Structure 1
């Protein structure tokens, strides 16, 4: 990737995001990461506060990044949404928050961050889900969450013309069913396994171009 090996990780104070901070830091990358709440301890990353759904917070964050260029940017944002995952039981407020967090806010932020990616080799990655695919999720499990991630995939695809002009590769990534607060302790994939695999996928994507839908092991998923 770019010689300076710099990465910006959005949503990194726990789970997969924090795992990515640790993975890239261990490889000698300069890591800038965002948090909500408290800053993780014992980390060499530069930490900046960000609420991705708050325009004022997003504006302040963008101003703090002025003049910086990154080899890769990872936007790791996601909530499960209504517990019942039934459209007839979800409120408008719950649905609005779900799609704002999982779909609209990540891509809005990405549009503002694209100029800060290294041209001809930069990677812009989003945490999506295998459940976002009609082919990979034929039983429509977790339909509201899945729909929000499917919307994310389509909105990322809409970034492709701009990304191509800048020489940036787009990634929609499935981290696996991971042992996080959302995934639960019964999940088969550890945070270390997922974040280690994602690091390799992101690093390998430099200079590939296009928009790729991959899991944490680098396997191509069907849209």
Structure 2
């Protein structure tokens, strides 16, 4: 009997939004591979222990290119129906002229360059009809930036969006779906305690948005399925 279960790879699944995604896809009957940084025990490990073998935990420091290559080699032969990259850091609300160069580099490498390295490297594992998704943010929208603030974080997400746009143009004939997803303002370490949504309120919409998109090409959408202005 052929196993028809789908497989999702969630990059950055140790907690909050990434862990929520892994949990949601397990509940939908998918097999899930989730990555964590380092070797410490996380909520993803706890979830794996109750998954009946359907959740595999992999180690990945996304900012190290050789670790991305090693993960690709370990997953060789697997077919992914979904590759979703969830990773971002912020270093506070600092006017851009006061941001140290090393901080600028750290945030840009983590939030923009590294996710694209993952997409470029792991793309061959994604089924031709599969989906490649990256967690973006409304703060990456240039059109919606009417108040300023969070200069570096906004710039990193805008850079991520632009790089995905370039990726989509370079692979214009690809049949895979490409999504930049804004999860909403969520109460995470990054979003802060005053955010509007809990993880449990955001993630079901994120998953529905991912599953609802069937057209190839790049789409910038939010957790309610609405188009986000570039």
Same fold (TM over 0.5): yes
Cα-Cα RMSD: 1.4
Q: Is 1:85 aligned to residue 63 of structure 2?
A: no
State the number of aligned residues. Answer: 218
Residue 85 of structure 2 contacts residue 115 of structure 2 at CA under 8 Å; is this kept in 1?
yes
Residue 206 of structure 2 contacts residue 223 of structure 2 at CA under 8 Å; is this kept in 1?
yes
Out of 70, 82, 106, the position equivalent to 1:60 is 70
Residue equivalent to 1:215: 222
**Structure 1 runs of 4+ with >6 Å offset:** none
Distance in structure 2 (CA, Å) of the matches to 1:85 and 1:62: 36
Residue equivalent to 2:122: 113
Distance in structure 1 (CA, Å) of the matches to 2:14 and 2:140: 24
Residue equivalent to 1:8: 9
3-state DSSP class of the match of 2:9? strand
Q: Is 1:21 aligned to residue 22 of structure 2?
A: yes
3-state DSSP class of the match of 1:156? helix
Shift of 1:163: 4.2
Unaligned runs of 5+ in 2: none
Q: Is 1:156 aligned to residue 161 of structure 2?
A: no
Distance in structure 2 (CA, Å) of the matches to 1:30 and 1:164: 29
CA offsets 1:55-85 (integer angstroms, 9 cap, x no match): 232222121111111111100010013x242
Distance in structure 1 (CA, Å) of the matches to 2:94 and 2:130: 36
Residue equivalent to 2:41: 38
Q: Which has the higher contact order (CA 8 A, sep 6+)?
A: 1
- Name whichever of 41-50 and 25-34 sits farther off: 41-50
Distance in structure 2 (CA, Å) of the matches to 1:62 and 1:173: 23
Residue 175 of structure 2 contacts residue 216 of structure 2 at CA under 8 Å; is this kept in 1?
yes
Provide the TM-score with structure 2 as the length reference. Answer: 0.90
